[in-house]
């Protein structure tokens, strides 16, 4: 899978997280060239999957940490600050707050 396809799959969380984590370490970090956007609806979709029991809180944390660490995933300019904050919170529950169903629903309402 090429870098852009892998990054798009990461943004959508459309592959198993283990496969994404393995693949993401094999691609360049700086991402010179094309970038992949992350939209609020994509973050909301991941949280809807969590609320449906498809993804654990640890899965969401891993996904958010992988997205947050990529320079070649750009945040939607219309929601950039909110997305940045949400990703930080989701990727760092020990430093912010644990992911609860109520918090997930708040993010889904905002980004959904």
> Which 8-state DSSP code applies to residue 79?
G
13-52 per-position pLDDT tens digit: 999 999 999 998 887 765 567 899 999 999 999 999 999 9
Count of the separate structural domains present in the chain: 1
Sign of CA dihedral 110, 76, 69, 27: positive
Name the residue range of residue 63's domain: 3-111
The closest alpha carbon to 112, from 57, 39, 52, belongs to: 39
Bridge partners of 58, per DSSP, are: none
Task: Please give the model's pTM, rounded to 2 decimal places.
Answer: 0.93
d(CA 107, CA 101): 10
d(CA 22, CA 85): 26
Q: What is the pLDDT of residue 85?
A: 98
68-90 per-position pLDDT tens digit: 999 899 999 999 999 999 999 99
């Amino acid at each position: 899978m090429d870098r852009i396809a892998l990054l798009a799959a990461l943004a959508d969380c459309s592959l198993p997280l283990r496969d994404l984590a393995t693949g993401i370490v094999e691609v360049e970090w700086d991402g010179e060239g094309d970038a992949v956007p992350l939209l609020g609806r994509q973050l909301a979709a991941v949280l809807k999957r969590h609320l449906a029991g498809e993804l654990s809180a640890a899965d969401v944390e891993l996904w958010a940490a992988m997205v947050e660490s990529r320079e070649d995933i750009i945040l939607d300019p219309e929601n950039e600050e909110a997305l940045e904050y949400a990703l930080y919170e989701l990727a760092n529950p020990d430093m912010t707050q644990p992911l609860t169903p109520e918090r997930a629903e708040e993010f889904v309402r905002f980004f959904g």
